[in-house]
Amino acid sequence: GIFESIESGPSGPEELAFKFALNTINRNRTLLPNTTLTYDIQRINVYDSFEASRKACEQLSLGVAAIFGPSHSSSADAVQSVSSALAVPHIQTRWSHHLTDTKDAGFISLYPDSLSLGRAVLELLSFFSWRSLTVVYEDSS
């Protein structure tokens, strides 16, 4: 996985979730019998898309089956470009307002697309008979 950090400090929530998921899968011998998942963690500066591309290439040289992260838009786009060119799955956790290119079969987003998210909000409004809703969000850029 490729994860952003401001400094080489403690793991962020995405990295912790990534490690937890792989360890959980490895402990459950019925999910992937006779298989142990391993990972390579690379940390990059949050705004350095060149470093993100370089780390993606390093991971690919190790023979990874997929690349997880990063979540910042410029870094994620750089990694997506590398993974698309080499037909390696790229798993992302970030929201994107752009519609995903359906021709890119290697792109996997764990975040719901904006149309599905919008429908869910409308269903909540309708279900609770609300007339208004306030959305609070944080933008890392």
**pLDDT of 79:** 92
Interval 15-54: pLDDT, tens = 888 999 999 999 999 999 999 999 999 989 888 899 999 9
Task: Report the distance separating Cα 60 and Cα 42, nearest Å.
Answer: 12
Task: Report the distance separating Cα 56 and Cα 54, nearest Å.
Answer: 5
Task: Report the distance separating Cα 60 and Cα 106, nearest Å.
Answer: 14
Interval 53-96: pLDDT, tens = 999 999 999 999 999 988 887 888 899 899 988 889 988 877 66
Bigger pLDDT: 127 vs 114? 127
CATH of the domain spanning 2-111: 3.40.50.2300
Question: Which residues lie across from 2 on neighbouring strands?
Answer: 42
Backbone angles phi, psi at 39, to 5 degrees: -145, 160
Q: Where are the domains of the chain?
A: 2-111
Task: Report the distance separating Cα 68 and Cα 32, nearest Å.
Answer: 19
Residue 70 and residue 93 in contact, taking contact as beta carbons nearer than 8 Å:
no
Backbone angles phi, psi at 92, to 5 degrees: -120, 150
